[in-house]
Amino acid sequence: MAGCDSPGLVSLVLLEHTLQQPKSWLLSHSEYKLTPQQRNALQESTQHYLQGTPLPYILGTWEFFGRSFIVTPDVLIPRPETEILVELALEHTRALQSPLVVDVGTGSGCIAISLAAAQDTATVLGVDLSLRALQIARRNAQRWDQSRVHFLQADLLSPSPVKFDLICANLPYIPTQALAGLSVSRWEPQLALDGGATGLESIHRLLAQAQSRLSPNSVILLEIESTHGTDALDAAQEFFPHARHRLVRDLAGHNRILEIHTADAGNPQDGALNNG
């Protein structure tokens, strides 16, 4: 595939998808001849890829935290960086007996379902404004038999009077003006990408709502754009001045997660710049 960094790998993945056979089978059946229907399907998938359609949308599924999730253009494609948020969430919830968790902007449900699957005493609520996204999330919950994950159509936390032990979110964080110049805006849902003029508008709104929706000893975990670290910490200080805040870096060394611990009320800003 011309213009592809790993044309052989992508071709193999598309062939796996077309034949519904694992790579090991393909490599051991090199003499296999495609049927006309299979050849047409492979050509169609290849054409979509060459036109720029993201591979996960062609395949219809994508891996996240050790599981395969259904994805369509109605939901954001799960990224490896978001797995850090899940790992941090599990560190907190495993210390609790029956934690109540909310995943705001759940999309495909990959965060909520991964948390519930790894923490079998947790009850998880996935919230999203998009009804189509919630339909995908419910399919993924059924796919992984996660009946402790519940879904709600809502604008952030606005209708919920419940107090949570953990609030986590991967909200839209790309500034509107910057979004138009990114290829991702052509394929993935604008609702999951557009963070308003500053890129932090949804995060500010969520933090404002979270002030009255947290249990004692609770944690907020928010994925952020790497250049928003200082502004994100400022927002945490504004809405939770007596909590402990820090930025957690991803494997590339970029600021990726804003972490707020309300239990540390006696140590305002203790560790606020402690990047993990």
> For residue 199, what pLDDT is reported?
92
Q: Pick from 39, 36, 42: which is nearest to 59 by CA?
A: 42
Each residue's pLDDT tens digit, 106-163:
999 999 999 999 999 999 999 999 999 999 999 999 999 999 999 999 999 987 788 9
Tell me, yes or no, whether 2 lies in a domain.
Answer: no
Residues 175 and 249 in one domain: yes
Tell me, yes or no, whether 273 lies in a domain.
Answer: no
Residues 73 and 46 in one domain: no
Q: Range of 161's domain? A: 64-264
Tell me, yes or no, whether 110 lies in a domain.
Answer: yes
The domain that contains 189 carries what CATH number? 3.40.50.150
pTM (predicted TM-score):
0.89
Residues 181 and 89 in one domain: yes
Query: How many domains does the chain contain in total?
Result: 2
Beta bridge partners of 257: 223, 248
Residues 133 and 109 in one domain: yes
> For residue 267, what pLDDT is reported?
40
Distance between CA atoms of residues 101 and 105, nearest Å: 13
Q: Are strands 214-223 and 255-261 parallel, antiparallel or unpaired?
A: antiparallel
Residues 226 and 135 in one domain: yes
Written as six digits, the tokens of 230 are 């200082």
Tell me, yes or no, whether 260 lies in a domain.
Answer: yes
